[in-house]
Structure 1
Amino acid sequence: MDPVDELLRGVRSTSTGRQELTGTLRFTGELTLIAPLRGHVRLNTKPVHLGDIAVVRGPFEAESNSAVLLVGTYCVSDGLLDLLPPVLVLDGCDDLTSIYAPGSQVVQNRLFEWLLVCTLRAWFDQQQVPRGWDDATLGPVLRAMHAAPGKPWTLSSLAGEAGVSRSTLANRFVKLMGKPPLTYLTDWRMSLAAELLAESNATVGAVAHQVGYADAFGFSAAFKRFYGISPTQCRRSC
């Protein structure tokens, strides 16, 4: 199982477009892709030039005397966000002018999702294995959760995958991943659920079972707490 492929599952484009920029503009999405089509721009003071692609976490300011930008915003899992720097920049990219053209919004969203996945895949290939996956304790636990998200995992059963005590796993997980094991599991389940709702015809009940919930009612309540919308609304808009 490739940990990077697992992390990149569930990437969703929420908006796409071109942005003419003269001066300063604030962006507020949780993850934004910026590629200059003309001119250059500074993102939180980091320079990004023609031929670069930048991916930025959280709110940020873009500043330029005169630039035209390709802009995509995304919804991704917390597990992926936690591994990314505030701003990452890749250079040597091809001309992206043709990737945005009038047409189907669905097609545009898929193209921008592809662009983000390719960009992050290239960036991860330059890095070490994502945090935790090569750890002797956390590696088996992460692989087990990602391979079988529908299994009724408990802290005890996850600790059994690593052959350690519950307290050892909990402490190690928080130290490396920044959150408890079961919180990470919920994040992964919700990311996978959103992907299944958007890309399959499975019923809400079927999706619930695939991600570890006994019934559609409990799953729907958990999904709405997590995303702020119901599974049915996600199916229409994700």
Structure 2
Amino acid sequence: MDAFADLFRGVRAQGSLFGSTALTAPWSLVFVDGAPLTLCTVLEGTGGWIVQDGRPPEHLAVGETVIVRGPAPFGFVDELGTAAEPIECGEECARPELGGTLHRLGWHDDGPAGATTLIVGAYPVRGEIGRRLLDAVPDVLRVELGGTADAVRDLLAAEVAIDAPGQQVVLDRLLDWMLVCALREWFDRPGGRPPAWYAAHRDPVVGHALRLLHAEPAAPWTVSSIADRTGVSRATLAKRFADLVGEPPLTYLTSWRMTLAADLLAEREAATVAEIARAVGYSDAFGFSAAFKRTRGVSPTEFRRIA
């Protein structure tokens, strides 16, 4: 497990709004479901514009994909200043007057010649782990043509056009795959500024150390033991890790353990604080509680009460 893969624990499509809509101009869809992340891709036609208050409009051409951060509503219009009346689309949206339909299960309407076919998928983002991923994502993330996401988009187009058993499961997993491809391409783009923990994975020493910490977060790690496992000196590990990640290895580990603990406190209501402490690498509840309050500002018990 690595830091990037770990963040997807709290971001998983399940029964997501997923539809295919053939739109004829003029149109104005407004997505109001408040999803933390929404993926939009145009399969054919003339494309359109993603618009949202306080953000520059983004043109979406055929084959392109954008991922929009919520929870604020956003629109998809045929052109800026369109004369179309806005139509709200939430968890369920059926608008035959637009020439197509949006709904939970995949459905396809070829529509008239030249219609713009839009696919939309919404992600729930749960817990503290998922929030870490949101913190690394811009307001609008654009995926250009010509990358690894193209193949996934083609599979989405094929699956959304059929009616077969297990379709929702397939669409959800394709949506997860699309998000991974989109984020990797955005982080790896020329001139990009990916999160430090993502860029650090390319370093053979620090990348190895990060994979160890994420694979075994509850292990009794010290700087020396991490250095031994990565095959470098303690001083080399400490310097390279701090230079690339922006903080010392044990500071990073503590932050990650507290993120894991926050989700466990919210999810496992029957577990005691001592059990949560052991699950994230602390031998006693007192030391864990002190570390949790130092990083989170509240005790584990208080956090559980307000979570």
TM-score, normalised relative to structure 2: 0.50
TM-aligned CA distance change 1:82 to 1:139, over 3 Å: farther
2:180 is aligned to 121
CA-atom RMSD in angstroms? 4.8
After superposition, what is the alpha-carbon deviation per residue over 1:112-146, rounded to whole angstroms, capped at 9, x for unaligned?
Answer: xx999666324245466942234211122112211
TM-superposed CA distance for 1:160, in Å, is 1.8
Aligned residue among 45, 48, 55 for 2:56: 45
SS in 1 for 2:67: strand
Aligned residue among 141, 163, 166 for 1:88: 141
**Separation (CA, whole Å) in 2 of partners of 1:115 and 1:192:** 26
After superposition, what is the alpha-carbon deviation per residue over 1:175-211, rounded to whole angstroms, capped at 9, x for unaligned?
Answer: 3222221221112111211222233343211111121
2:264 is aligned to 196
TM-superposed CA distance for 1:172, in Å, is 1.4
Aligned residue among 144, 157, 160 for 2:228: 160
**Separation (CA, whole Å) in 2 of partners of 1:234 and 1:116:** 32
1:213 is aligned to 282
2:237 paired with 1:226: no
TM-aligned CA distance change 1:176 to 1:46, over 3 Å: farther
**Separation (CA, whole Å) in 1 of partners of 2:134 and 2:227:** 25
TM-superposed CA distance for 1:168, in Å, is 1.7
Q: Work out whether residues 83 and 130 of structure 1, in 8 Å CA contact, stay in contact via their aligned partners in 2.
A: no
**Separation (CA, whole Å) in 2 of partners of 1:115 and 1:195:** 26
After superposition, what is the alpha-carbon deviation per residue over 1:198-229, rounded to whole angstroms, capped at 9, x for unaligned?
Answer: 33343211111121223223322322333344
**Separation (CA, whole Å) in 1 of partners of 2:259 and 2:175:** 16
TM-aligned CA distance change 1:150 to 1:40, over 3 Å: same
2:4 is aligned to 4
TM-superposed CA distance for 1:80, in Å, is 4.0
**Separation (CA, whole Å) in 2 of partners of 1:79 and 1:172:** 23
TM-aligned CA distance change 1:119 to 1:162, over 3 Å: same
TM-aligned CA distance change 1:225 to 1:74, over 3 Å: farther
Aligned residue among 59, 63, 67 for 1:54: 67
Q: Work out whether residues 277 and 288 of structure 2, in 8 Å CA contact, stay in contact via their aligned partners in 1.
A: yes
TM-aligned CA distance change 1:233 to 1:83, over 3 Å: same
**Separation (CA, whole Å) in 2 of partners of 1:203 and 1:48:** 51
Kindly name which structure, 1 or 2, has the bigger radius of gyration based on alpha carbons: 2
**Separation (CA, whole Å) in 2 of partners of 1:164 and 1:69:** 55
Structure number with the higher strand fraction is 1
TM-score, normalised relative to structure 1: 0.61
SS in 2 for 1:152: coil
2:141 paired with 1:141: no
Q: Work out whether residues 154 and 182 of structure 1, in 8 Å CA contact, stay in contact via their aligned partners in 2.
A: yes
| Number of residues of Structure 1 aligned to a counterpart in Structure 2 | 210
Q: Which stretch shows the higher mean deviation, 71-80 or 154-163? A: 71-80
2:242 paired with 1:183: no
After superposition, what is the alpha-carbon deviation per residue over 1:12-37, rounded to whole angstroms, capped at 9, x for unaligned?
Answer: 9xxxxxxx97xxxxx9xxx943568x
TM-superposed CA distance for 1:74, in Å, is 6.3
Structure 2 residue ranges without an equivalent (≥5): 13-28, 41-47, 91-121, 144-148, 158-172, 189-196
The amino acid across from 1:204 in the alignment is: V
TM-aligned CA distance change 1:150 to 1:74, over 3 Å: closer
**Separation (CA, whole Å) in 2 of partners of 1:161 and 1:62:** 48
TM-aligned CA distance change 1:10 to 1:167, over 3 Å: farther
**Separation (CA, whole Å) in 1 of partners of 2:4 and 2:284:** 30
